[in-house]
Structure 1
Amino acid sequence: MKKLFVLVAIGMMLYACSSNSNNQQHAGSTATSESNSPGASDYDPKRGEGKFDKVDIGDKLDAKMATEGHTIANLKCASCHKYTTERLVGPGWSGVTQKHKPHWIMNFITNPDPMIDKDPELQAQLELCLVRMPNQNLSDDDARKILEFMRQNDGLQE
């Protein structure tokens, strides 16, 4: 009886693994059809998906906040991102604040999964990097500090 249970368990695992690889092979066509679905048409690629519609960043850099953001980024982000243009696991951070609005960055830092699922640019980036950005469960305050560090990293002075 134990042998039969073991054989059934192994069979189920093999079936599950083979089904998963089939789903991954068709992921590109699924992402395309999802972007044509009603929910995806509501997505604004300039805003992102999340609670931030506007982030008041001011004209000057907040050096204290940037320093704290650098510390947080070193703990939570640096294992996958370099602060240059070079890609590590994820893309490099240099230039990100010129490319994206502050509210988009804040939405992505705090809410990456829905944005990756809906944003064509992020889906293209995922095809290059092959690893989804994990949700680091950062507070809004920590995300704002990381944004300030990104601004400093892109050359904004005090």
Structure 2
Amino acid sequence: MRKLITICFAAFFIVACGGNSGDNATGDADKTTADAATEKSSSDYDPNRGEGKFTEVKLGDQLDAAMALRGKNIADLKCTSCHKLTDEKLVGPGWAGVTKRHQPQWIMNFITNPDPMIDKDPKIQAMLEICLVRMPNQNVSDADARDLLEFMRENDGVK
């Protein structure tokens, strides 16, 4: 089953990366406009917060076990087919240490809306070169993302 999922992701990635082979007189002008817009928005990007609505996420000193359990259930459903809980890469990077490498608001923004961050964040772009597959938007709610964050904290040893 995992091989089938991996093959589907790889096929999607190959198709998504295909270019337009037709000649277009305005294509260069459109590309220049798009590049300028990307440069402007990239300069406004905060690599500690990410791109999205979460500007600050308050965490307790201790783990919320109920939230972590809900997060584990969500991860089992939506995440662990691509991510291991260790530092080992599967389709995407492993989760070990993620809460030590990134701010909580960055994690929440990436979970809930990965596309703009993939387009702007240099760390994500570097990881994309290794993993070769963009993280799909799983339509995770804000509450579910917070539960996932708590599960990631548990995975990183918060008690």
TM-score norm. by structure 2 comes to 0.78
Match in the other structure for 2:91? 89
Give the whole-Å Cα distance in 2 for the aligned partners of 1:34 and 1:44.
18
Q: Which runs of 5+ in 1 are unaligned?
A: 1-16, 24-29
Matched, 1:38 2:26: no
Aligned length: 132
Matched, 1:74 2:72: no
Match of 1:60 among 59, 62, 69: 62
Match of 1:112 among 111, 114, 130: 114
Deviation at 1:20, TM superposition (A): 2.3
Give the whole-Å Cα distance in 2 for the aligned partners of 1:50 and 1:128.
24
8 Å contact kept, 1:90–1:133? yes
Runs of 4+ in 1 over 4 A off after TM superposition: 33-36
Identical-pair percentage? 66
SS at match of 1:151: helix
RMSD value over aligned CA atoms?
2.1
TM-score norm. by structure 1 comes to 0.78
Deviation at 1:22, TM superposition (A): 7.2
SS at match of 2:18: helix
Deviation at 1:59, TM superposition (A): 0.6
Letter in 2 for 1:110: T
Q: Which runs of 5+ in 2 are unaligned?
A: 1-14, 22-31
Letter in 2 for 1:90: G
